[in-house]
Structure 1
Amino acid sequence: MEMHDLCAIAAREPRCVLATAVKVEGHAYRKQGVSMLLTEEGAMYGSISPGCLESDLQARVDRVLHTQQLEFVEYDMRPEDDMSWGETIGCGGLIIVLLEPVCGELRSIMSHMHAYFQSGSAVELTRSFYDQYTRIHYVIQLAEGAERQTSLYSSPAVKGASLNPINTMITEETPRLSLVVIHSSEADDLTSNSGESDLQRDGLTEVEKWDIPLQISAKYVPKPRLIILGAGNDVIPVARLGKSAGFRVVVADWRETLCTAERFPGVEFVRGFPSEIIPVLDIQSGDYIVLMSHQFPREREFLELLEDRNYAYLGIMGSRTRTARLLNDLPPLKQLHSPVGLTIGADGPEEIAISIAAELIACKRAAVAAERRKVQRGIAHATDGHRASGR
């Protein structure tokens, strides 16, 4: 689950905790910088592990919300003879998780982040720790090198708004946050009066041992848009899987009766013929496009209008013969995938949808990896995603 989703969920959850992997060493299921949200009611959104750590983190939520304390939790699965964690988790790495109550400054920051994501803007969140990790300062700003994408999907709250850095203020009146450092194996021994525990008195030494920096920055990008031309029945599983894979799905079709929330829950719609929808879509370099209307003249018109635009992916449903006819006399199109989807021997709408979703994920992860190699600026970039290969 992306930070985009977590910010939206935090807006509707009055009492919740943000858990972030601030340090990862060795083999682990997720990368450093990944976050998840845990609520007082026991709901969990996102993941940091394959499900091994989440129950333990959830058990800490009530205390974090009650005390309004930051907590660092260590999960060390590196020792081979650790039968309690190493065998059950099976990751074999070290993970340091920061738990933050979502209130006050953090809630405001997440609200602003969500507004930026809705406008198509990538942001950088910086946490700065002060006074031996007992005070925290948040700053969000437009990520370096990112371009704001303005379109009809911009949130009303940010239309026309500037993207200047947003800071929380540190003053003498700012309430202090008590630091609690807990080892996973010591959870049962922690007293309810965590402010007097030996773990807190020894905590600063532990944080220094872990080499947690005083400033942690993470870049978060908005969800890439998946624009599907067509709203037929075979589009339904593609839209559903696209949402699950972290895309912001837009269905575009001229047949208004097919574009309904009942058929496509949680999906955005653009209704009209290609000449009408192209200006509205305002296609950007990070967009993924799939043609599934099965209407030859409409798809040809769409491709002609797409000629001078940049995008990340273009998939065309249909045989190679049909696609060749569709592209006849057109200049070469960028990022073309046809037939759309990975070759897995798919048969039927559901399996074809899986093959398309798999190809979309592979292309998205390859783009993220390429960007990471290009940037390499020494700050921790949160990907909120699994590796595209090696699993």
Structure 2
Amino acid sequence: MEMHDLCTIAAREMRCVLATAIKVEGHAYRKQGVSMLLTEEGQMHGSISPGCLESDLQARVNHVLDTKQMEFVEYDMRPEDDLSWGETIGCGGLVVVLLEPVCGELRSTLQKMHECLQSGAATTLIRTFHDDYTRVQYDWKRVEPTAKGHPVLRPSLVPPHDRVTNYNLTSLQVDVQHSRENIKHEHTALTQYSRDIPRLTLVPEMVPATSNGSHSSPPSSDSQHISEADIPTNDAISTNPWDLPQQLTSQYTPKPRLIIIGAGNDVIPVARLAGSAGFRVVVADWRESLCTLERFPGTELVLGFPCEIMPLLNVNNGDYLIIMSHNFPRERELLEMLVDCEYAYLGIMGSKTRTARLLDGLPPLKNVHSPVGLSIGADGPEQIAISIAAELIACKHKVSALSTEVGQKGSVAHANDGHRSGSR
């Protein structure tokens, strides 16, 4: 799940925790920096593992929310001969997860990040740890391209706050409203981290924490428990045994926009799968009875003919387009308007013969994929939608899926006919 989505969910969930894999070593399911949201009611949005760690993270949510303090959790699954982790661990490696209550400055920061991502700009989230990793300072910056296409960092405009000590939700709502009216400076508030946290649970056994907030290694197969007498109490023990940097910076890009021209029944699964794959989906059509939220929940709808919708869409070089209205004159009209546009991807539904007729007489168009979708032997709307979503993901990550087996080297293989049975 994209940070764009997590920010949206955090805005409506008043009691939730942001979990982020801040250090990953060895083989792991997700990359370092990935985040998910855990709510007080037990809902999980996103993932950090294949399901190995989420239940343990969820068990910590109430404590993090009650104390309003961040918490570090280590999962060390590297020793192959260590059976204490049980049979549910699906991957090896070391994963250090930071749990943060979404309140105070973090909530305000996520709100600003969401506004930035929604506007189409990238953003960075900056965490600066202080006092031996017992406090964290949040900041965010907007990343904008320069005239030459290189990103530039612009300081965020967020009002200053004192150190966060009162997390009362009522006063928080007042403070957020106040901040919206008085945006002047960058914030420098620090969220405190308690040294007196309870024992940290490492799957599946309980491993006590040290008195200063650090935690010991996972239990070995011949030592399942640690007595209170064995717990170090020396304040010299570091709260950062993983050698984390003092400042962590994560950059998030906005969702790429997928514009689908057409709102027929075969578009419904494409819009659904593309949304699940991390695209911001826009469906455009001139038929009012088809272009409805009932048919396309969670998507943006634009109603009108090509000459009406193109000025509204403002197509740019990060956009993906798919033409699948099955109306030849309207599609030709739209393609003529795309001649001078910049975009990342243009998929055209239909056979190569039909596409050739559509493009006849036009200047060469960029990044054309026709017939749209990868050649996977798909049959029917649902499977064809899968082939289209797969091609979108492949182009998004600049990989050439299936190219070595069924296509030329360095190219993405396509079907021969967008409608023929088994063409994908």
**Superposed pair shares fold, TM > 0.5:** yes
Kept after mapping to 2: 8 A contact 1:20/1:34: yes
Identify which of 326, 339, 354 aligns with 1:294: 326
Structure 2 unaligned spans of 5+: 148-153, 165-189, 216-227, 400-424
Write the mapping of 1:1-391 to structure 2, written as runs, cut at 5 A: 1-85=1-85, 87-143=87-143, 145=145, 164-166=155-157, 169=160, 171=162, 176-179=192-195, 182=200, 184-185=202-203, 188-190=206-208, 205=237, 207-366=239-398
Shift of 1:56: 0.5
Deviation per CA, 1:63-92: give whole Å up to 9, x if none: 101111211111111101121327431311
Cα distance, 1:182 vs structure 2: 3.8
1:89-141 per-position Cα deviation (integer Å, ceiling 9, x unaligned): 13111100000000000000011111111111110110001111122111111
Residue 343 of structure 1: CA displacement?
Answer: 0.2
Alignment match, 1:386: none
Does the Cα contact within 8 Å between 2:263 and 2:290 map onto a contact in 1? yes
Q: CA deviation at 1:364?
A: 1.1
CA distance in 1, matches of 2:355, 2:204: 61
Residue 367 of structure 2 aligns to which amino acid in structure 1? Q
Residues 65 and 101 in structure 1, CA contact (< 8 A), matched pair in contact too = yes
The letter for the 2-side match of 1:353 is A
Residue 258 of structure 1 aligns to a residue in which SS? coil
Amino acid at match of 2:41: E
User: Are 1:128 and 1:138, in contact at CA under 8 Å, matched by a contact in 2?
Assistant: yes
Which one-letter code corresponds to 1:6 in the other structure? Answer: L
Q: Distance in 2 between matches of 1:310 and 1:206?
A: 52
Identity level (%): 65
Q: Is the 8 A contact 2:121 2:144 kept in 1?
A: no
SS of residue matched to 1:33 = coil
Deviation sequence 1:186-236 (CA, Å, 0-9, x none): 863548x99799879579845433111110001001111110000001001
Q: 1:86 to 1:33 in 2, by over 3 A?
A: farther
Q: Larger radius of gyration, structure 1 or 2? A: 2
Task: Tell me whether 310-319 or 134-143 shows the greater mean CA deviation.
Answer: 134-143
Which residue identity is paired with 1:184? L
C-alpha distance 204-29 of structure 1, shift in aligned 2 (>3 A): farther
How far off its partner does 1:344 sit? 0.8
Q: Which consecutive residues of structure 1, in runs of 5 or more, have no partner in the other structure?
A: 148-162, 368-391
The residue type paired with residue 118 of structure 2 is Q
> How has the CA–CA distance of structure 1 residues 141 and 278 changed in structure 2, closer, same or farther, with 3 Å as cutoff?
same
Q: 2:281 & 2:304 partners in 1: Cα distance?
A: 17
Write the distance in 2 (CA, Å) between the matches of 1:361 and 1:306.
Answer: 22
Q: Structure 1 residues 357 and 55, CA, compared in 2 at 3 Å: closer, same or farther?
A: same
- Contact 1:226-1:287 within 8 A present in 2 as well: yes
In structure 2, the CA distance between the partners of 1:175 and 1:233, relative to structure 1 (3 Å rule), is closer
Aligned to 1:159: none
Specify the code of the residue in structure 2 equivalent to 1:113.
M
Normalised by the length of structure 2, the TM-score is 0.77
CA change 1:202–1:12 in 2 (3 A) is farther
- Cα offset for 1:145? 3.6
Name the SS for the 1:256 alignment partner: coil
Q: Is the 8 A contact 1:132 1:204 kept in 2?
A: no
Give the distance between the partners of 2:212 and 2:42, measured in 1 at CA: 21
**Post-superposition shift, 1:329?**
1.4
CA separation of 1:316/1:200 partners in 2, compared to 1, >3 Å: closer, same or farther? farther
Letter in 1 for 2:261: L
CA distance in 2, matches of 1:50, 1:351: 25
- 1:148-191 CA distances to partner (integer Å, 9 max, x unpaired)? xxxxxxxxxxxxxxx74145757567663215584625863548
Q: Would you say the 8 A contact 2:212–2:235 is kept in 1?
A: no
RCO higher in 1 or 2 (8 Å CA, sep ≥ 6)?
1
Range with greater deviation from structure 2 (272-281 or 200-209): 200-209
* Partner Cα separation in structure 2 for residue 17 and residue 245 of structure 1: 24
Q: Which amino acid is 2:206 matched to? A: D
CA–CA separation in structure 2 for the residues paired with 1:253 and 1:204:
66
Partner letter of residue 260 of structure 2?
A: I
Q: Matched residue of 2:241: which SS? A: helix
Assess if the C-alpha contact under 8 Å between 1:137 and 1:170 holds in 2: no
